[in-house]
Amino acid sequence: MAPQTSWQYYYNLNDLWLKAGTRAAFLDKYYWEMQHPTFARNGELYIAAPDLQTIYSPMMELSESGGSIAIRYMGKTLQCGVNSETAAVDGTEVTLPQPPVRENAVTYLPISHLMSVAFGKHIGHIDHLSMGGYMGICASRSTVASQEWQRMDLVIGGKDRGDLYGTFWFEPGRKIVPYRVYVPYEYSPEKPIPMAVTLHGGNGDENWIFEKSGNQLQYLAKKENILIFSINGFCKSSFFGSLCPTASTIHRIDPTAVDPGNPGGLSEDAVAIRQLSERACQQALNIAFDTYAIDRERVYLFGNSMGGLGVYHFALINPGVFCALAPCGGSVNPNLFPVEKLGDVPIRLLFGSEDENGTHFLQEAHRLFVERGANASYHVIGGGIHSTAWVTGLPDIFSFFREVSGQR
């Protein structure tokens, strides 16, 4: 199934920042390198049409034919032509102060006038540090915060340690997908480093697990010299590709009466979203291994809530990759999950004693996992609730990882 503009994504572009003469673009805080450099002419900034479509895809559809250009975005259609200042938005004639042009067989669009006149975007400017000369195509009149200026400036200066915000093009979903990394300052490409892959909850994104911890995650990662790679779940309620129902269905679903390939009875669209999201998450994981020198014997996986369920599934589809699993605040239904395929990888289920979703379900899931031969244990955070017990338990999670590594 092709991606739909009606789908809810975990990342949606708000502000785009561009600078003349470079391929560099910032999609909010995320760095993206375009195919073609921008250029300035007569006070306008021009962007290559293919780059504009890529950046706003799949929400924007752009087509060209014989010098005519049609752009569908935000429920509107803009029609314009190369070297013509006359354009139309939904059939109403408008004027672009600078026309689209062709350079080196590529169509370039006057982005500030086009996006403001046709689609109501607000234009901002940054004249700060080396960010001087950047133009913003913004969702609102609010300008980028000063700390974001500084963060982007550091990226331009070559920052490659600490918190980093990356992106990749996901072709099956026709969308740019972000990820977030914490790279300890001791990291060296000559010395492979352990990595913890994190999966966020249903209401979060790749930043959530950092922000919710109040930067404790980075503190512990620095202390333990572990690289953190946080994956974006792509579509809302994707469960990182898992089709297995939660532990709360243990006594409600008869495993002999369901389709093993879709035990939760999900709709065709829901299955398509989860399968597509799984592919996006897998691509992100591959980028981690391709980008950094990772100690393949010490790759850990943890996540909370939706991410907790995702831990089981992600380990299932990546056999032998993870040496320890720490699902938090969530579990799959062991009656509907091939527990034996996880082998003897150590699993530490962590949850709060006051989890609103019911701790008895998680305890029952743990019991069934152990009965089916899983190398599983659990840890309860006294007073912990569903969304934050894992934060209190972060030192315990890292201690578990250290314990497992010491046994290898």
pLDDT at 79: 97
pLDDT at 196: 98
Structure tokens at 128: 């700060």
pLDDT at 386: 96
**253 with 219: CB under 8 angstroms?**
no
pLDDT at 26: 94
Tens digit of each residue's pLDDT (9 = 90 or more) over 98-155: 999 999 999 999 999 999 999 999 988 777 656 567 888 998 876 555 567 777 878 8
Backbone φ and ψ for 341, nearest 5 degrees, come out as: -75, -15
Listed in order, strand segments (DSSP E) in 3-144 are: 16-19, 24-27, 30-33, 39-41, 44-48, 61-65, 68-73, 76-81, 86-89, 92-95, 101-103, 106-110, 122-126, 134-138
Q: What is the DSSP string of 222-233?
A: HHHT-EEEEEP-
pLDDT at 155: 87
Q: Among residues 66, 102, 70, which one has the least CA distance to residue 83? A: 102
Q: Which CATH architecture has domain 16-138?
A: 2-Layer Sandwich (3.30)
Question: Average pLDDT over the chain, rounded to whole?
Answer: 93
pLDDT at 142: 63
CA distances (Å), 235 to each of 55, 194, 266, 281, 313, in order?
Answer: 17, 28, 15, 11, 16
Q: In the chain, where does the domain assigned CATH 3.40.50.1820 lie?
A: 160-406
**122 with 139: CB under 8 angstroms?**
yes
Tens digit of each residue's pLDDT (9 = 90 or more) over 276-325: 999 999 999 999 999 999 999 999 999 999 999 999 999 999 999 999 99
**235 with 7: CB under 8 angstroms?**
yes
Compute the distance between CA of residue 45 and CA of residue 102 in angstroms, rounded to an integer: 14
Q: Which CATH architecture has domain 160-406?
A: 3-Layer(aba) Sandwich (3.40)
Residue 21, classed as helix, strand or coil, is coil
Q: In the chain, where does the domain assigned CATH 3.30.457.10 lie?
A: 16-138
Instruction: Point out which residues pair with 228 in neighbouring strands.
Output: 182, 196
Tens digit of each residue's pLDDT (9 = 90 or more) over 211-249: 999 999 999 999 999 999 999 999 999 999 999 999 999
Residue with tokens 């007569």: 42
Compute the distance between CA of residue 397 and CA of residue 187 in angstroms, rounded to an integer: 21
pLDDT at 154: 84
pLDDT at 306: 97
pLDDT at 170: 98
Tens digit of each residue's pLDDT (9 = 90 or more) over 243-275: 999 999 999 999 999 999 999 999 999 999 999
Tens digit of each residue's pLDDT (9 = 90 or more) over 367-407: 999 999 999 999 999 999 999 999 999 999 999 999 999 87
In total, the chain counts a number of residues equal to 408
**117 with 94: CB under 8 angstroms?**
yes
Tens digit of each residue's pLDDT (9 = 90 or more) over 3-16: 566 789 999 999 99
